[in-house]
Structure 1
């Protein structure tokens, strides 16, 4: 519950609040400069959730899962300072990579979903193909690497 609250609920509420107040254009926060503040908030929120999970004795794989999200967001934030990389592609590829580590290679059968997410980001003109490919590669590498080290 802590992981979901700090990694999803609080960030969504923060984004909705910002959209209502006119701080960002939409829920996707497509303007790179606006993304920086949102990403910093999400990193702080997820880090708080991770620390609370550790303090309250959550199972190590759960802590590793949420910590993988923090690590991925930190890398994406560093890149977003100079270039708009696809967070959606990173999250989807990181999720599939972690599922494969946790449950075995059969989970890689979900990989077409990563391609579908990437296609949608390009089709919506929110990202270029290069931004989607970079996000996909970074998401899988950082999330899987962090999860493998911490679980």
Structure 2
């Protein structure tokens, strides 16, 4: 939820935040609520959806919400950077979703973290890009380490997630911006 808000604030101030709210609610808030309700009702074992068999339907719901957000932003004439921010989410899901459905538990956590670092570095002016990139790499590494220590992923799954998220983000930004 935080990435669209940060990108909106950096690139468009208060007006950018207005556009970002649409993306944040549809791409972050509603999926978080779906997960919370799923855990509470017993459909999901926990909020990390560690049971891979529970992920495909959730991924489909999230993809649908991201597509709705993207269409809404395009139709309403949102700034291209906000459209790109949501398109990145769809691109990342397009890479990670099939991998997960095929049975390998690639890390969504590291994918989102690495993609966020790339996006923020892209929209920041000048020398800040390198600061964000370096600090972000450390944070992504720590997230990957923690996911492996918790036993939720192997180191390979966290690394693959980080590479996939960063690559999907960079490719989308290159095409759209």
| TM-score (norm: length of structure 2) | 0.82
Superposed CA deviations along residues 15-36 of structure 1, whole A, max 9, x for unmatched, are 1111111111000001111111
Which of these residues, 45, 59, 62, is aligned with residue 25 of structure 1?
Answer: 45
Rounded Cα–Cα distance in structure 2 between residues aligned with 1:105 and 1:65:
20
Structure 2 counterparts to residues 35-54 of structure 1, below 5 A = 35-54=55-74
Shift of 1:98: 1.4
Rounded Cα–Cα distance in structure 2 between residues aligned with 1:147 and 1:65:
8
Q: Which of 103-112 and 36-45 deviates more?
A: 103-112
Kindly report the root-mean-square deviation, in angstroms, between the aligned alpha carbons of the 2 structures.
Answer: 1.0
Shift of 1:147: 2.0
Partner residue in 2 for 1:128: 154
Count of residues paired in the alignment: 151
Which of these residues, 165, 172, 176, is aligned with residue 139 of structure 1?
Answer: 165
State yes or no: 1:119 paired with 2:145. yes
Which of these residues, 108, 111, 128, is aligned with residue 133 of structure 2?
Answer: 108
Superposed CA deviations along residues 106-139 of structure 1, whole A, max 9, x for unmatched, are 3202210100111111111100001001001101
Rounded Cα–Cα distance in structure 1 between residues aligned with 2:36 and 2:155:
27
Q: Which of 47-56 and 94-103 deviates more?
A: 94-103
Rounded Cα–Cα distance in structure 1 between residues aligned with 2:26 and 2:94:
16
Q: Whose RCO is larger (CA < 8 A, sep 6+)? A: 1
Partner residue in 2 for 1:85: 106
Runs of 5+ unmatched residues, structure 2: 1-20
State yes or no: 1:99 paired with 2:125. no
Higher alpha-carbon Rg: 2
| TM-score (norm: length of structure 1) | 0.96
Rounded Cα–Cα distance in structure 1 between residues aligned with 2:130 and 2:88:
19
Shift of 1:39: 1.0
Runs of 5+ unmatched residues, structure 1: none
Rounded Cα–Cα distance in structure 2 between residues aligned with 1:113 and 1:106:
12
